[in-house]
Structure formats: C-alpha cells, structure tokens
Chains A and B, each alone.
Chain A
Amino acid sequence: GESVGLHLPTLSVQEGDNSIINCAYSNSASDYFIWYKQESGKGPQFIIDIRSNMDKRQGQRVTVLLNKTVKHLSLQIAATQPGDSAVYFCAENIIGGATNKLIFGTGTLLAVQP
C-alpha cells in the first residue's frame, strides 16, 4: 500500500474565529501564487490567487497577503466555519516557456472546532 505519510502541521480554531495559515516559498522568480483547499478524498479546489505585483488580495471571507521581501504568503479566513475544515496548500507558479509549473507547499490541516 501507500508509504506512511508525514504529519501535517495543524491549526485548530474555534468556529467563528479568524484563521491565519502561513506559507514560505522558495523561488524569488515566482510571479504568481495560489491557495488551494483540499477536503478529504477530493482534489484541490482553487480558493484565491495573487500576482507578484500585489501585496494583498481579498475574496469572500478570505484574504491573501504576500510579502516578497521575506518570501512569505498567508491566507486569512474570516469567521471560520466547520465547512472550512480541510488541508490548505499554497503553491508558487514558476513559468517555464509557455507553460507553468506549480510548486506546492507542505500543506496545513485546518481543524475547526464547533
């Protein structure tokens, strides 16, 4: 069967609180960053993205902050709900010719306590 997986970093929050998930990226040339949400047994689902010429972008209940100086990305979820429980991956986009590659971070498990 599968090899034993790693233990994911876990963030445990109370329902209604705000959540902040952090991510460090490695490539200074990355021009585009994406946050994905992955529920158990499903494929990653796009949440929000940000280009390198921005430092903040807001969506519905979610905000992404980009700090290029320290190569840090964060995802803020307002008023966290039980349905937000999932693994969250950041990904940096590296352009190679006319196609891109996504380099995924290790993922953070968000556990929302009712």
Chain B
Amino acid sequence: DAMVIQNPRYQVTQFGKPVTLSCSQTLNHNVMYWYQQKSSQAPKLLFHYYDKDFNNEADTPDNFQSRRPNTSFCFLDIRSPGLGDAAMYLCATSSTRLFWTSGGYSTDTQYFGPGTRLTVL
C-alpha cells in the first residue's frame, strides 16, 4: 500500500546531541511537511518542501533543519536538542493539482506518517 513511513518510531537522544529523523513516502507526492506535536496539543508546522523548494515557518527555531534529497525522502535534523524539543514529530505529504475549470492550483489533503516520538535526556 502507498504510505508515509517514519523511522525510527522512537528516538532517544542526549541534550545537545544532534539527531536526524527520517520520512519516506511511496505516494509520489511533491509536497512534504514536518510537524511538531507536544502532548495534548495540535500539530505545529515547522516547514515544508514543495518539490525542492524549502519553506520555513517564521517561528521555527534555527535549531531545526531539513533536507529533501529526492521526491521520496525527507529528513528532519535537530542540531542541538533541548529538553523542550521532546515531542512527537510528524511527517505528512500532499500533492498539488490543477483545477482545469478555474485554472487555479489547489493541493490535496495531507497524509500523515505514524510519527517519531523523540525523548531528550
């Protein structure tokens, strides 16, 4: 089945030790997103890639970086994790499509992976 895959599902790191989270997709979607979700809160968008174009949210700390080497893979790098970065990290994908009748662009719904639970010691 086409899907969004995140590895690992659980990640433990030490304070200040860089960590990389991975996302891959078989949906061939051109847009990939990274969200941070803390306990009992809604997902918060960190950034997204539209093809190779990186779009950062204004309030995303510099500590968070991302790479997208190809359509299928996207990585979240946390350069110096702090205790406040412990959270669930969610990857999502969507596709862009053209509405021929209107000539405008719209995107399909976002499909989420299972998430990676990050613990910072």
Is B31 part of the contact surface with A, judged by Cβ < 8 Å? yes
What count of chain B residues pass the 8 Å CB interface test? Answer: 34
Q: Which of B43, B84, B94 is in CB contact (< 8 Å) with A100?
A: B94
Is A34 a contact of B96 with CB atoms below 8 Å?
Answer: no
B-contacting 9-mer, from A13-21, A62-70, A72-80, A101-109: A101-109
Nearest CB in chain A: distance from B12 CB, A:
11
| Alpha-carbon distance between A6 and B44 when the two chains are bound, in angstroms | 14
Is A5 a contact of B112 with CB atoms below 8 Å?
Answer: no
Q: Which of B4, B41, B113 is in CB contact (< 8 Å) with A5?
A: B41
Is B39 a contact of A5 with CB atoms below 8 Å?
Answer: yes
What count of chain A residues pass the 8 Å CB interface test? Answer: 32
Which A residues lie within 8 Å of B106 (CB)? 31-32, 95, 100
Nearest CB in chain B: distance from A101 CB, A:
6
Is A42 part of the contact surface with B, judged by Cβ < 8 Å? yes
Which A residues lie within 8 Å of B41 (CB)? 5-6, 106-107
Task: Give 9 pairs: A residue, B residue, CB < 8 Å, sorted on A.
Answer: A2-B87, A6-B41, A32-B106, A36-B112, A42-B114, A89-B42, A99-B107, A100-B94, A105-B42
CB within 8 Å of A: which residues of B?
A: 4, 6, 31, 38-43, 45, 48, 50, 55, 83-84, 86-87, 90, 92, 94, 96, 105-107, 109-115, 117, 119-120
